[in-house]
Structure 1
Amino acid sequence: MEHLIQLFEPHVNDGICLAFSGGVDSSLVLAAACQAVSRINPARPVLAVTFETRLHPQGDTEEARALAQSLGARHLTIPVDEFSDTRILSNPKNRCYLCKSLLFRSLLQAGRDAGYTWFCEGSNLDDTKVYRPGLQAVREAGVHSPLIEGGLTKNDVRRLAAEAGLKTASKPSTPCMATRLPYDTPFDYELLSRIHQGEDWLRNLGFYNVRLRFHAPILRIEIDKADFNRFMDQHEAITRAMKDLGFLYITLDLEGFRSGSMDI
């Protein structure tokens, strides 16, 4: 953690502006940045920017604001409509690059308007080992990734977040809802909303990692393999709930939950 804090210290007086989702990665970045600020110049608080978009799970904004403020940061919410870029609507293979380009243009504008000139985000080292075209947009925008620069994996992040007492340490990842559809499947916001409702329903049953991937007309459910027996004990209720949301064929993926399965 000390190494991570020191990465921020030279940039405190420039004004540190962070793309802050409220997840474990960006929470650890924010905590470290705020500690650097407290040492160097407490009058120059970190600006934590949370995007409200159509492709990201809703409902976490207030939690993000509360966490940012508890750590001593300023918090700003920016509404961004990804569908304003018509290229994104068709869900191409470089969709993540297009989205991140749009989001980080908004981040840079908001930060500069507030007098901040050093920008960062929460990608970790594991993100460099899988298909993450959005990282290209991060680099092109001149935005830093302190967790990557510090060589921190997701496991490192969760460990350090727990040691720092961050309540997000055990929070499951909630990536962009676009990852629930195959590439080149045009976006249907009503469909994405139903998928989001289904995931929330399963999480409320106590399942930790949950993804509903939709390959029309099949709904492929990914959960941790350790939860398979409990899932089957409740499969009738789960099937009924998914069908009530309008899905026709309900399947359990025998490979279990894995991030980025649509990229295979």
Structure 2
Amino acid sequence: MNLVAIIDQYLHEDVMIAFSGGVDSTLLLKMAVEASKRYHTHVYAVTIQTALHPVMEADEAKQIAEELGAIHKVIHVDELEGAGIENNPVDRCYLCKKYMFTKVKELAHSLGVSTILEGTNADDLKQYRPGIKAIQELELHSPLLEANMTKKEIRELAGTYDLKVANKPSSPCLATRFPYHTLLNYEAMRKVEKIEDYLHACGFYNVRARIHNDLVRLEIDQDAFMKCMDKRQEIVLFIKELGYDYVTLDLEGFRSGSQDIKLEEK
């Protein structure tokens, strides 16, 4: 069954979509809104406002949802306390997703909505993704995964719809920038956000600022290494002014989920 048919089967009734504003959930929302017009149903786009994600992302999600014609809702959460992830446990993603999507289900119930969709895709199954267990336990639906769509295919399809986020870099929660069993705090995560925003402003595409105590390990695309060297002094100065002593460039380059490599090997 193709993606259009999969989404259509859910839109015979009102649905709620967990909406981050990234390419996966934006494509899903776009196609759901189109289907809702055929069935005269409603689509709620729910964005979770959290300190583990840059504030700007929630603002962008609101704008996109309204442009696409969805009914936008925001849920404010504090995962560090609510989900019990202050010490960045290995199952952090599971605990966090379970906590946040439980809040989404509560909102859906209050609105009389029984079907919740979210944007997990086929590539997510190839990496350490404990949050998928929470999605399954809470009985959310993943149309992109049902259609076996990869990230590349999702970006291509988003491009055919002229979605402005078609080539938007992925941006997982800021807790992923810290080693497991590291005490998380909002001040440190805001610093990570500042570093990555700065690097994006410098013209780098995929960026991760991995924190190891007083050392920052930068991951960028390998073809941007020379550009990084050209801007080395400015980058080092910016990061050291945030209070870090050492700034390094990871010679393996950008790797999504690089903190999970040892876990995947076990």
TM category, shorter: over 0.9
Aligned to 1:209: 206
After superposition, where does 1:1-264 map in structure 2 within 5 Å?
3-41=2-40, 44-85=41-82, 87-264=84-261
Deviation of 1:3 after TM superposition, in Å, equals 2.4
C-alpha distance in 1, partners of 2:199/2:6? 39
Deviation of 1:113 after TM superposition, in Å, equals 0.8
Contact 1:6 / 1:36 at 8 angstroms: preserved in 2?
no
C-alpha distance in 2, partners of 1:246/1:37? 50
The DSSP-based 3-state class of the residue aligned with 2:193 is helix
The DSSP-based 3-state class of the residue aligned with 1:222 is strand
Contact 1:5 / 1:35 at 8 angstroms: preserved in 2?
no
Deviates more, 1:171-180 or 1:80-89: 80-89
Deviation of 1:115 after TM superposition, in Å, equals 1.6
Instruction: Give me the identity figure in percent.
Output: 45
Give CA deviations for 1:39-83 in whole Å, capped at 9, x if unaligned: 122xx2210000001111211223212211222211001101102
Give CA deviations for 1:161-194 in whole Å, capped at 9, x if unaligned: 0011100001111110000000000102111111
C-alpha distance in 1, partners of 2:10/2:228? 48
| Number of equivalent positions | 261
The Cα RMSD (Å) is 1.2
The DSSP-based 3-state class of the residue aligned with 1:211 is strand
Question: Structure 2 length as normaliser, TM-score?
Answer: 0.95
Give CA deviations for 1:176-231 in whole Å, capped at 9, x if unaligned: 00000000001021111111101111111111111000111221000000100010
Deviation of 1:156 after TM superposition, in Å, equals 0.4
Q: Which amino acid aligns with 1:118?
A: T
Deviation of 1:114 after TM superposition, in Å, equals 1.1
C-alpha distance in 2, partners of 1:127/1:261? 14
Query: Gapped runs of 5+ residues in structure 1?
Result: none
C-alpha distance in 2, partners of 1:86/1:46? 27
C-alpha distance in 2, partners of 1:184/1:46? 39
Question: Structure 1 length as normaliser, TM-score?
Answer: 0.96
Deviation of 1:28 after TM superposition, in Å, equals 0.6
C-alpha distance in 1, partners of 2:211/2:60? 29
Deviation of 1:14 after TM superposition, in Å, equals 2.8
Query: Gapped runs of 5+ residues in structure 2?
Result: 262-266
Q: Does the C-alpha gap of structure 1 residues 52 and 86 become closer, same or farther in structure 2, counting only changes over 3 Å?
A: closer
Contact 1:26 / 1:121 at 8 angstroms: preserved in 2?
yes
Contact 1:57 / 1:174 at 8 angstroms: preserved in 2?
no
C-alpha distance in 2, partners of 1:147/1:9? 13
C-alpha distance in 2, partners of 1:4/1:199? 33
